[in-house]
Amino acid sequence: DAGVTQSPTHLIKTRGQHVTLRCSPISGHKSVSWYQQVLGQGPQFIFQYYEKEERGRGNFPDRFSARQFPNYSSELNVNALLLGDSALYLCASSLSERDGYTFGSGTRLTVV
């Protein structure tokens, strides 16, 4: 079975640009979450979507947005990139919290 897949794996962008990151959850998982992880820190929650509806949003500026499609895949968009947005962006899907989240390998975003 395919796990959570994310694309691209690496990305270099310039300050002020826009970026779109993509995620496909495990088949059958209707919940998709996005996390940001900077080096040496734990992942920080950005968004969770369930059945195409936003269930929760973390403490991130409005430059960050996301959506979930009918096939449960998801996109994370970041506008007006800042140097501080450089991080590993992780997508996770789950059946339930008790079953745990399965994380993708992430997209490494570098803003220069």
Partner 1 sequence: GQSLEQPSEVTAVEGAIVQINCTYQTSGFYGLSWYQQHDGGAPTFLSYNALDGLEETGRFSSFLSRSDSYGYLLLQELQMKDSASYFCAVDSGYALNFGKGTSLLVTP
Q: By the criterion CB under 8 A, which residues form the site for partner 1?
A: 33, 35, 40-45, 48, 50, 55-56, 58, 90, 97-106
Nearer residue to partner 1 within complex by CB, 78 or 92: 92
Nearer residue to partner 1 within complex by CB, 28 or 42: 42
CA pair distance 51, 36, nearest whole angstrom: 22
Q: Do 94 and 102 meet the contact criterion of CB atoms below 8 Å apart?
A: yes
Minimum separation from the CB atom of position 93 to partner 1 (A) = 12
- Dihedral of CA atoms 51, 72, 92, 80 in degrees, nearest 10, equals -100
Nearer residue to partner 1 within complex by CB, 8 or 16: 8
Minimum separation from the CB atom of position 16 to partner 1 (A) = 29
Nearer residue to partner 1 within complex by CB, 59 or 71: 59
Q: Which H or E element spans position 20?
A: strand 19-24
- Token couple for 12: 């270099």
Q: Do 20 and 76 meet the contact criterion of CB atoms below 8 Å apart?
A: yes
Q: Do 34 and 89 meet the contact criterion of CB atoms below 8 Å apart?
A: yes
Minimum separation from the CB atom of position 112 to partner 1 (A) = 21
Minimum separation from the CB atom of position 111 to partner 1 (A) = 20
